[in-house]
Structure 1
Amino acid sequence: MLEIRALVERVGPTLLRAVIVPDPTVCVGDVVIAEPDQPPTAAGGDLVLGVAVTGREKAVELTRVCGTQGAAAVLLKPPIAADDAVATAAERAGVALVEVRPGTAWAQLVWLIRAALAGTGIEEDTRSSGVGDLFRLADAVADVVDAPVTIEDAHSQVLAYSARQDLTDSARVSTIMGRKQPDDVLAKFRARGTFRQISKGSSAIFVPAQQDGTLPRLVVPIRMGGELLGSMWAVVPGEVSEERSTAFADTAPLVALQLLRWRAVADAERRRSAEQVRVLLEGGEGWRAAANELAVPSETHRVVAIEMPSSAGPAEGHRLAMWEWITRGIGRRPLVTEIGTMLYALVPDRARTGGWPDLRQALISHDVSPRPLIAVGTAVAVAELPQSRSQAEELISLLRTGQLQDRVAVYEDNWHLLVLSRMAGAATDAGIGTLGPVPMLREHDRMQGTEYLATLHAWLRHPGDPRQASRELRVHPNTFRYRMKRLAQHVDIDLEDPDVRSALLVQLLADRWAQHG
């Protein structure tokens, strides 16, 4: 977690200046952009960017509302950031006021703040991970093609973009602000066959203007050794000369080298992150240091456990694909690790962007075959993550044996099955299966091929409702009634006694649990 002053220092005094900080111990969680003429939807610890706020009254109202929502800070540009009335309002609301230096691009500021919150320092980015180099490279490529440029990976995630903004449209703005091309923008380019051309070619692709106001694009695939690493997108006013188009395409090999370097460092950072997540899941003395290194927000989190079926083929490749899917699903760097054959993800239990509802929707909509087993523990404090992990693993065991069929199994939604499975497990250990008429029925089923145990279990689950019981067994109601009549002839059971019914149900559950276990 980063405190406000630490975040300002990490992003750098050339971009930010702390004006008012009522509580320097408040930590920052995420970045929220205040939409024009709409109240912000901030949560505890959020930084709220007043992108369209220029007047005193709107700035005062923004700080007041942010205070009621528990936001950590409001970021404004001068001169409004230095206004005494705004500073007073921020102090009364208990919200930090941070000035964004003139000339700072809001989109790049969002990028830098999120990089800092993700635990990657800006100076470290520039020196080691190659992100800073990618931004400089984007500027150089923009000079070559004489147009604003974005560099994107193979999943349309924005890695860097040029500083020049002289030619832009809403699609470019939303792409930079969201760090990826929005779904509706992607759909339009797919409909025009742009991505099909990217996947096959290596030369520059011209995409004409669209009726919705999207400006023309010049797109170049980025390849190395036949692998598609990403693409570069330039916003152009119209047709581009062949010489300039060729020059744009000629920059692709240089960008490919930088992307490979960036990916290698990103993989190393991901491995380091995975090690720290593993520490959090296993608990012990090092959890606090791991949480600080990962900048884990001080809010409740859930542990998601994912297991690929053995029929899915090589587990490593499938878990990696799921890892990348989770990254795209929640819109920010996930906290993920592998332990044994299981993939684990930590997700904040919050309703806003990047929280558990977003990931749940992404997991439910991730339609693959064979389907992975996905289980989720309850929301706990960071120090109690091993508990949420154990809960998720308990659900995975039920999914693995087929006793639970949910696409995404959530711990608190399946408490009744957990009660039954634990009770049956304890009963099995106590040897209750040798008592009463159940052993006789079990032996009869084994020797004669009957299904008396299954029939009795269905009757106990649906007493007085032979139609529902027969439907569960997939037999005719008359067949079910005949089986129950024959069963009563083989053993003496007083099914009118509620204690007898309870004892039989426990025995049958234990019997089934032993078979699945």
Structure 2
Amino acid sequence: MLDVGALVERVGPTLLRTVITGEPSVCVGDVVIAEPGEPASAAEGDLVLGIAVGDRPSAVELVRRCGELGAAAVLLKAPVGTDEQVAEAARDSGIGLVEVRAGTAWAQLVWLIRAAMAGTGVGQASESTADPGVADLFRLADAVADVVDAPVTIEDAHSQVLAHSARQDLTDPARISTIMGRRQPDDVLAKFRSRGTFRQLTKGSSAIFVPAQQDGTLPRLVVPIRMGGELLGSMWAVVPGPVSEERASAFADTAPLVALQLLRWRAVADVQRRRSAEQVRLLLDGGEGWRAAANELAVPNEAHRVIAIEIPESDDSAEGHRLALWEWITRGVGRRPLVTEAGAVLYAIVPDRARGGGWPELREALVSHEASPPPLIAVGTAVAVADVPRSRAQADELIALLRAGHMQQRVAVYEDVWHLLILSRMAGASTDAGVGSLGPLPVLREHDRAQGTEYLPTLHAWLRHPGDPRRASRELRVHPNTFRYRMKRIGQLVEVDLDDPDVRSALLVQLLAERWAQHG
């Protein structure tokens, strides 16, 4: 336990200066915020922060009241923190008076005081978390919550929750869903967008008050977090109603401190992510290094699938979308998926288990994740860890088919689309063997090119629906008589025995190979 003098010394003279020592035997118990216009509520040994106290009478009254309650000290900024009448009131009350240096953010001060009281170094991460700096972000969220006197979430630029304060005294379904889902729900985001909240976040640096909504969503105080013009994220406080200008300013003043911590967290996380990505690539490629990579990544000895995820290159923002999706996945479901990037494709290695961060959970999350444009998702079969490169090769084969438009679904699982894989491989082998130049097809192909006819599609439809001209014509969207006329003309152009089953099979192989090759 620390007394006021020792605590001030540990936090440092850059931020604090003792004006009145107070009772040296009193140990500091907790840090509390003095509410403007309300009686101070402090317990014995508390440090009381006069965040919104800006005049002498209010400061004198706060000091005297805290002295009656047995508080250890009152912390005030100049000029009231150095005012002689305020100091005299502190002496008479037997309470410490500490000046908070100008320019000090109150959230930074709360954070540093609590770190000093806990005996931890500033920025020391908890051993209970595997994320660098995450513990600091949570402690910082608690400190900001004390400053604004409201529950707080710290979010990145994609509305993903990075940290939240422990206090839950004021909450609503939107906040609960945000914390549980680690991001603001889409319907909540839509409501804030419709009110122009996110548009306001891109401008300025002051706190934004968002009134209560008809669905029961409580008011919010929102402040952007930016550094060097870049919007790093935002802080959201759930408040009961409009807050004083002083408290809103104090909330906004915490943003630079949070920005520094976010940059630090992002830098350390990027180093870890790059190292993890290198090990995942070794696992995907196989070879001599795979076993050491699996050990470093602590990959469980069970069946895994490789998931290939590609965001269509519709615009210059595809790279940003990939990064956002990467961050979203790695903060995702259960045990974090192992993720890396190769070219325009993200690869994730996930256990093939029903729960605990397995493929079914990730699939549900990916399908429900709203993204524009939606990503293409290809899934290899479940394999042993040593055989991960085979699952990766399967995912690569599927992502190529999705990219070429051979499948309409967003998610393609290898064992579910075997028939399409057969057609794709057959098309590749047939093209390499030059089968398209054999038989009557070259004549029909040239006639279609020169005369604008559609004899190849007509023949394909006839082979797909033999003896059923009505179904074949519906597939081509022409009248049955038109279809019959085209088939008659084909018979006049080329000599082909369509009654021979081997001839029909050969023609179908040729036409399928040509169609797949055109879309590949």
Range class of TM-score, shorter chain: 0.5 to 0.7
Q: 1:345 maps to which residue?
A: 348
Contact map agreement 2:142 2:166 (CA 8 A) in 1: yes
Q: 2:391 maps to which residue?
A: 388
CA distance in 2, matches of 1:479, 1:501: 21
After superposition, the C-alpha distances for 1:324-357 in whole angstroms (9 at most, x for unaligned) are 4545775874432222333223344444474434
3-state SS of 1:345 partner = strand
List alignment gaps of at least 5 residues for structure 1.
1-120
Give yes or no for the alignment of 1:484 onto 2:487.
Answer: yes
**Residue 157 of structure 1, CA deviation:** 2.7
* 1:374-453 equivalence runs, <5 A: 374-446=377-449, 448-453=451-456
CA distance in 1, matches of 2:353, 2:306: 13
Change (3 A) 1:237 1:485: closer
Change (3 A) 1:170 1:318: closer
TM-score (norm 1): 0.66
Q: 1:263 maps to which residue?
A: 266
* 1:8-407 equivalence runs, <5 A: 123=126, 129-165=132-168, 172-183=175-186, 186=189, 194-207=197-210, 216-236=219-239, 238-313=241-316, 316-324=319-327, 326=329, 330=333, 333-352=336-355, 354-364=357-367, 372-407=375-410
**Residue 258 of structure 1, CA deviation:** 1.0
3-state SS of 1:312 partner = coil
Give the alignment partner of residue 461 of structure 1, picking from 464, 478, 482: 464
CA distance in 2, matches of 1:168, 1:400: 44
After superposition, the C-alpha distances for 1:248-278 in whole angstroms (9 at most, x for unaligned) are 2211111111111111222222222221221
Change (3 A) 1:428 1:238: closer
Q: 2:474 maps to which residue?
A: 471
Change (3 A) 1:258 1:325: closer
CA distance in 2, matches of 1:391, 1:128: 32
Q: Which amino acid aligns with 2:426?
A: M
After superposition, the C-alpha distances for 1:342-384 in whole angstroms (9 at most, x for unaligned) are 3223344444474434544554456666665432222333332
CA distance in 2, matches of 1:446, 1:186: 52
Change (3 A) 1:376 1:175: same
Change (3 A) 1:446 1:290: same
Contact map agreement 1:445 1:452 (CA 8 A) in 2: yes
Q: After superposing the two structures, state which structure 1 stretch, 468-477 or 313-322, moved more.
A: 313-322
Contact map agreement 2:303 2:382 (CA 8 A) in 1: yes
Change (3 A) 1:296 1:436: same
**Residue 460 of structure 1, CA deviation:** 0.7
Q: 1:57 maps to which residue?
A: none
Contact map agreement 1:128 1:265 (CA 8 A) in 2: no
Change (3 A) 1:400 1:149: closer
**Residue 481 of structure 1, CA deviation:** 1.1
**Residue 283 of structure 1, CA deviation:** 1.7
CA distance in 2, matches of 1:177, 1:283: 37
Q: Which amino acid aligns with 1:229?
A: L
Contact map agreement 1:222 1:229 (CA 8 A) in 2: yes
Change (3 A) 1:349 1:234: same
Q: 2:90 maps to which residue?
A: none
Cα RMSD (Å): 3.6
Give yes or no for the alignment of 1:497 onto 2:500.
Answer: yes
Q: After superposing the two structures, state which structure 1 stretch, 352-361 or 246-255, moved more.
A: 352-361
**Residue 459 of structure 1, CA deviation:** 0.9
3-state SS of 1:129 partner = coil
Change (3 A) 1:303 1:167: same
Q: 1:103 maps to which residue?
A: none
Change (3 A) 1:187 1:492: closer
CA distance in 2, matches of 1:474, 1:321: 43
Identical counterparts, % of pairs: 82
Q: Which amino acid aligns with 1:158?
A: V
